[in-house]
Chain A
């Protein structure tokens, strides 16, 4: 089994693997797990900082991939983007559930803006992503970091920063477009 998984890793791209997962092919699923469990778990750990929850989220992510592979439309984006998006979405949902749960210390929910921004920013580990974020305006960077790494909604960000929602939408749009020009989407080999 392991041998065939390794050969699958060399053969076929992610889109082909995902198409086979859509046909309920367990070997293709194992190959996708081998490729993407690391990135998915890293996202979940970065967001949740809890090995148990991160494992639950990672399992959810792969069950969602197994069940939802048929919904993937290659005309609308790469398999890699789709998988990382599922992983981020599940992690954000888990972070929001954790924030709503009464076991989160009150100090976490009333922490000042600076703490919240620093906490979210601390989740950015990779040097080249940090540098790319530094190429944005401070306003764009804060909005993007709070949204993507902090798991806050646009409304929450607008409220925290005391600026109109429309302004946050604009900062996120412009920030993402800027980011796209300074940080090209990496090849799968550098996903980790």
Chain B
């Protein structure tokens, strides 16, 4: 879609009234178009004023506990030894988060490069005696390793020198169990800076990690193409 066609769809996007494929087109465009980002801000504000049109309902008190517990359990899965914590903090700052943030992410990555030697941080991960290391091989170039601890379910992908997948495209990481790959996040390579993607999973269930090239910024629900990199986990 052209800029003008996308622009016509921005109000509908703000109302979540686009078909999924159209929404993906808009998101891909938003990542690189400041004008459309500004427009979206205007329409999202207007949409938010509709949010207060719903009848006020009080959520059950028990829901609060469930939500806080769910978040806490996710937090605990991130709580490892001191070395891991530092590494994951660095990784967390670098993780590619979903939804059209490519620009601000690049800026943030640029800022971080100066003060965080993230490869050193990743080495803390690699140095943990309990963790296992898999090197992915394939056609995307670069040096891509996956380090994980089967006991705690903690892992991270560390990628350097991957070639640019092309504008509007991302690398998507998959955990493969039988014929059913599960998405473990999307990322774009960053020249000169290692990309670290933290992954929490029950690793013994999976046979392999794989990376495919998918449409940005959110990737795909299932791989749409053959993987460009694969590493065997030895599970399953």
Contacts and interface: CB of A to CB of B under 8 A. Distances in A.
Interface of A: 24, 26, 29-30, 33, 37-43, 45-47, 51, 54-55, 58-59, 62-63, 66-68, 70-71, 73, 75-78, 80-82, 84-85, 87-89, 92-93, 123-126, 129-130, 132-133, 144, 147-149, 151-155, 157, 166, 169, 172-173, 176-177, 179-180, 183-186, 190-192
Interface bracket on B: 35 or more
B53 A39 contact: no
Interface stretch (B37-45, B109-117, B140-148): B37-45
A126 B55 CA distance: 7
B80 interface: no
Interface in B78-98: 78, 92, 95, 97-98
Interface of B: 8-9, 11-12, 14-19, 37, 40-60, 63-64, 66-68, 70-72, 74-75, 78, 92, 95, 97-99, 101, 104
Contacts of B74: 63, 66-67
Main secondary structure of the interface of B (DSSP, over half): helix
B49 A180 contact: yes
B49 A73 contact: no
A160 B178 CA distance: 42
Given A67-B97, A70-B92, 4 more contacts: A46-B55, A63-B70, A71-B97, A149-B50
B46 A59 contact: no
5 contacts: A77-B40, A84-B47, A124-B53, A169-B8, A176-B47
A142 to B, nearest CB: 13
Contact of A123 (B12, B41, B54, B58): B54
B63 A186 contact: no
Given A38-B57, A63-B70, A78 B45 contact: yes
The 3 tightest CB contacts between A and B, nearest first, are: A46-B54, A129-B53, A125-B55
A46 B59 CA distance: 12
Contact of B60 (A30, A55, A133, A153): A55
Nearest to B105: A71
Contact of B44 (A43, A59, A77, A153): A77
B49 A129 contact: yes
A180 B42 contact: yes
Kindly name the residue among B54, B95, B97 whose own CB sees the greatest number of chain A CB atoms within 10 A.
Answer: B54
A153 B58 CA distance: 28
A148 B47 contact: yes
A116 to B, nearest CB: 14
Contact of B17 (A30, A71, A80, A154): A154
Given A87-B51, A126-B53, A154-B17, A59 B97 contact: no
Given A38-B56, A38-B57, A41-B57, A58 B50 contact: no
Given A26-B75, A129-B49, A154 B18 contact: yes
B52 A39 contact: yes
A37 B59 contact: yes
Given A154-B17, A169-B9, A172-B12, A43 B54 contact: yes
Given A43-B54, A73-B101, A77-B41, A172 B17 contact: yes
A192 B52 CA distance: 6
A180 B39 CA distance: 13
A75 to B, nearest CB: 8
B46 A180 contact: yes
A58 B48 contact: no
Given A38-B56, A148-B15, A59 B45 contact: no
Contacts of A151: 16
A39 B46 CA distance: 16
Given A26-B75, A144-B50, A147-B17, A71 B99 contact: yes
